[in-house]
Structure 1
Amino acid sequence: MSAQPSPDRPDAPSDGPSVSTSTATSDGFVRGLSQLIGGPLGSHATRPEARPGRFWTASRIIMALTCLILALSWVQKSPCMSGDWQKNIQYTRFCYTDVLALYYAEGLSDGAVPYVNHQVEYPVVTGYFMGALGLPVHWYGVKHPDINQGSWFYNANALVLSLFAVITVGVILALRRRRPWDAAIFALSPIILVTATVNWDFLAIGLAAIGLLLWVRRQPLWAGVLLGLGGAAKLWPLFIIGPLFIIALRSGRLRSWLLATVGAVVAWAVVNFPVWYWQHEAWLRFFRLNSERPVDWGTFWYVGRYLDGKWSSTGGGPFQWLSDHVPTLNLVTYALFGLACFGLLVLGLLAPQPPRLAQLAFLVVAFFLIFSKVWSQQYVLWLLPLIVLARPKWGAILAWTVAEICYFAAFYAELIGAGDGGKSVIPEGTFVLASALRLITVGVLCGLVIREIWRPELDAVRQTYGGADPDAGLAEGPDEGWVQRLRWSLGFGRPPVAPVGLPPEPPVMAKV
């Protein structure tokens, strides 16, 4: 008989039926590509993790690849480091970064203390981070006027943000010990290459990733604290509290969710309080700016407004009207996101098995971006680690990545035109098409994740972990009875039927 693979053996995405406990654990896209080098790895092959003392394990290879991509990202941004952005070099070389631009725009180059001397447009943890790096650079630059302060500030930020990116990869590896190669989807992504240091998003991503790890390690209070700190850097980590509620509700472990929620609220309040109390107007600027901002480039509303102009003889329509009435648009976006969250709750309660935390977290953040009136280019980083944890299949993620890179190029072409007095570099329809493709591919990813929630036998991660959710933490456990009764009452599944009693068999007559 052939030897059976160990159930603890790390999964490889090219694994086939002969070496995996289930075909669902393999990735058909990767298996197909593996034919170029001889096909999938066989069940009797010697794997790196099986060699005692071997240095280059899967985790170390992925960490090294992450550092390589981040180094290449730094090189890719190098044409902009001097700050001498003549002839739209920041767009023609694709090296624009808010980090360098805002060093001057937010007054850091003049020694302004965020929120005290200048009203920063970001949540407080991001503002603290900017000041913690920017003020020492300015102080050193005053004493050494020959240095380029902007370049020093960018390099310091790039180093720390890269550290948070490495931490994020480490968390993915820790959460997927049986599937280490899933982290390669994140580590090798061109998205990181072009957007890693466009803004300070990796600060929130790293904090949220640590929060998820603490949840899995059954420390809900500290998990909430990290999610709250992440939410005080960028808003989206606070959305994960919703998915935590859904999985805790199904298992009846609401105490763990309550601890996480309290930790998040307290942490968010503590770091916000100094600015809220002593610099209240500066604290309000972030919220006012987001309330007053018009429809941003490439959003669902931007695409709709363009189609209004094409289809309406008067050049007006519902999207154009909403664009002209921003307060109403705000209410519409909140309402649509709220409806999407309610739909997610219904899906989470009616699914055959409790959805995995990563699946719900990806969906809630994706819904927010789809309906938001603002979708900055670097927001794509919010989705990348979540989709790797939710649905680590290379094919669909690569298609989405291509759409994001195409949008990235089209967006910079639009900015070049805007900087040249409205002179078109590409047709407006081309940019709208790139925007629509980005929306469509994110929508497709959402559909694929929803399908695997509704049909858990298709979920590669669940199959690798024997049907369990490796991210459930203290919410792991069977459904509460009312959840199954709710599903049965709505026609999802069938209640157990008591066996019908059979008449007793006649007594056997003993032979005389």
Structure 2
Amino acid sequence: MVTARPHPRWLPLAVAACWLALGWAWLARGAAHPGVAYRPWAFDHHAYSDLLAMGGDRYFGGGRPTPYLGDRVEYPPLLALALWLPSFASHAPLAYFTVSYAFLAACGLLAVALLLRLRGADAWWLAGGPALAYYGGLNWDLLPIALLAAAALAHERGRLRGAGALAALGASAKLFPLVLVPPLLGAGSRPGRGRALLAVGAAFAAVLLAVNLPLALAAPDGWSWFWRFNAGRGAENSVWELLRVSPRLAHLVFDAGFLNAVTALLVALAALAAALAARAAARDPGRAVRLGAAFVLVVWIGTNKVWSPQYALWACAAGALAAAPRALLALHAAVAVADYHVAFEARATRGLVHYFDALYLGEEVLRFGAYALLAAWLGRELWRVARAAGDEPPPYGPVVSP
């Protein structure tokens, strides 16, 4: 019987590089339409990038306002730096975009390389689908995704302080890498692992404070804008917009307090489940941590009050960490492509708002269903690993104390 040969380890990196190159070629066309004209052009041509939009708002005219100190940025510090630093290379739209995109492409390839080294992960979830081409340059998400993958690999290799520090750096770029913290703390709270719990918690807190505290003290209004801006938002492009269908519930779409409370409760319950499962997983704590992080991430994104199309990359990161089935990868790849085109067609200036509003609501239901299926699979696997017998050694080696 002929057996299939394993693919070369460089193949996922090569495929990811091809997707990223296609993404640059598609989005770079927008550099010819800077300023006020950019957003209408980008929506009409399904080629929008926050790199060009936000860079044009700030830098293409020759300015260079400092994040937080002279520029209110609705992102955490490391993403604010990723927005700002390429302006030192050039104020020209194409050059600024290319420098920014090259950095993000490097982050994407680094994330794939780290996933290839993480035993039990599936790098094809990130490298194989079209989400890299569609979303790699839409926003700066590949930076925190690389940090999330690095933190997971550090934990797998027993470098617990490094895992905590890298998770803090990821959270200082975008909040989603916080999903590693509950299962890390859960695994560290097992009897006899007090030093591990202290190592993770202390490293995470120290790095988070080192990055954020100086900015919070120097520019409290600018630093806190991220929190105030997001706390006051209603439902945007998310499944919560379905409340508009009911006249009695439609007002909740704009009720930030209600949405904040409900989504926070759902994420907190997912985090508690991840922490308890990681604590109970005696046989394979490394896989329990990855599954727990992926579970919290998918619940968070799937139920978040605000949806941005590039969040598809985070579903890819979750699926990669958990080595979710390829059938789910195919489903999310299809949804990612549909979501991109529907989202921007709905914003295009074609005078068909009502038609695309109905289409977009339908697509939101489809997207939520895909995330629910992935969350259900992750929850089932998390339950299984938590209940697995603890009398055998972990298949990927023990997680050692710091």
The match for 2:16 among 66, 75, 78 is 66
What corresponds to 1:388 in structure 2? 320
- Amino acid across the alignment from 2:70: N
Shift in CA distance, 456/329, structure 1 to aligned 2, threshold 3 Å: closer
Shift in CA distance, 449/472, structure 1 to aligned 2, threshold 3 Å: farther
Q: Deviations over 1:66-121 (max 9, x none)?
A: 21111111112132132354694312332100011001224574121222221112
- Amino acid across the alignment from 2:290: A
The match for 2:358 among 422, 429, 444 is 429
The match for 1:301 among 240, 243, 265 is 240
Shift in CA distance, 395/273, structure 1 to aligned 2, threshold 3 Å: same
Deviation for aligned residue 1:350: 6.3
- Amino acid across the alignment from 1:323: V
| SS of the residue 2:139 aligns to | coil
What corresponds to 1:5 in structure 2? none
- Amino acid across the alignment from 1:468: P
Work out the CA distance in 2 between the residues paired with 1:288 and 1:130: 20
Deviation for aligned residue 1:294: 1.7
The match for 2:347 among 399, 409, 415 is 415
What corresponds to 2:155 in structure 1? 215
> Scaled by the length of structure 1, what TM-score is found?
0.71
Give the CA RMSD over aligned residues. 2.9
The match for 2:265 among 330, 335, 339 is 335
Instruction: Point out which structure has higher relative CO (alpha carbons under 8 A, 6+ apart).
Output: 2
Work out the CA distance in 2 between the residues paired with 1:286 and 1:87: 22
Q: Is the 8 A contact 1:77 1:96 kept in 2?
A: yes
What corresponds to 2:297 in structure 1? 365
The match for 2:288 among 356, 372, 386 is 356
The match for 2:33 among 83, 88, 93 is 83
Q: Deviations over 1:327-385 (max 9, x none)?
A: 23322222232233234445556679656221111111111112221121112212212
**Structure 1 range deviating more: 359-368 or 212-221:** 212-221
Q: Is the 8 A contact 2:185 2:200 kept in 1?
A: no
Work out the CA distance in 2 between the residues paired with 1:471 and 1:385: 23
Q: Is the 8 A contact 1:175 1:471 kept in 2?
A: no
Q: Is the 8 A contact 1:244 1:357 kept in 2?
A: yes
Work out the CA distance in 2 between the residues paired with 1:391 and 1:251: 28
- Amino acid across the alignment from 1:292: G
What corresponds to 1:507 in structure 2? none
**Structure 1 range deviating more: 162-171 or 103-112:** 103-112
Shift in CA distance, 87/161, structure 1 to aligned 2, threshold 3 Å: closer
Is 1:276 the equivalent of 2:202?
A: no
| SS of the residue 1:474 aligns to | coil
- Amino acid across the alignment from 2:339: Y
Work out the CA distance in 1 between the residues paired with 2:2 and 2:265: 52
Is 1:288 the equivalent of 2:246?
A: no
Q: Is the 8 A contact 1:66 1:166 kept in 2?
A: yes
Shift in CA distance, 400/223, structure 1 to aligned 2, threshold 3 Å: same
**Structure 1 range deviating more: 229-238 or 70-79:** 70-79
Q: Is the 8 A contact 2:182 2:272 kept in 1?
A: no
Q: Is the 8 A contact 2:184 2:275 kept in 1?
A: no
The match for 1:127 among 80, 85, 92 is 80
| SS of the residue 2:269 aligns to | helix
Is 1:325 the equivalent of 2:251?
A: no
Select the structure of larger CA radius of gyration: 1
Is 1:201 the equivalent of 2:151?
A: no
Work out the CA distance in 1 between the residues paired with 2:393 and 2:302: 30
Work out the CA distance in 2 between the residues paired with 1:472 and 1:367: 28
Q: Deviations over 1:252-306 (max 9, x none)?
A: 4242232122112111111112221111111111010011112111x12112x23
> Scaled by the length of structure 2, what TM-score is found?
0.89
Is 1:453 the equivalent of 2:382?
A: yes
What corresponds to 1:376 in structure 2? 308
Shift in CA distance, 87/301, structure 1 to aligned 2, threshold 3 Å: closer
Identity %: 24
The match for 1:165 among 108, 111, 135 is 108
Q: Is the 8 A contact 1:357 1:471 kept in 2?
A: no
Q: Is the 8 A contact 1:133 1:157 kept in 2?
A: yes
Shift in CA distance, 405/264, structure 1 to aligned 2, threshold 3 Å: same
Shift in CA distance, 332/374, structure 1 to aligned 2, threshold 3 Å: same
Work out the CA distance in 1 between the residues paired with 2:97 and 2:148: 23
Shift in CA distance, 137/162, structure 1 to aligned 2, threshold 3 Å: same
| SS of the residue 2:10 aligns to | helix
Work out the CA distance in 1 between the residues paired with 2:162 and 2:275: 25
Deviation for aligned residue 1:322: 2.1
Work out the CA distance in 1 between the residues paired with 2:378 and 2:314: 16
Q: Which has the higher helix share?
A: 2
Structure 2 gaps of 5+ residues are none
Q: Deviations over 1:217-250 (max 9, x none)?
A: 2221122111111111101112211011222334
The match for 2:50 among 87, 92, 98 is 98
Q: Deviations over 1:428-455 (max 9, x none)?
A: 2221111111111111011112222334
- Amino acid across the alignment from 1:132: L
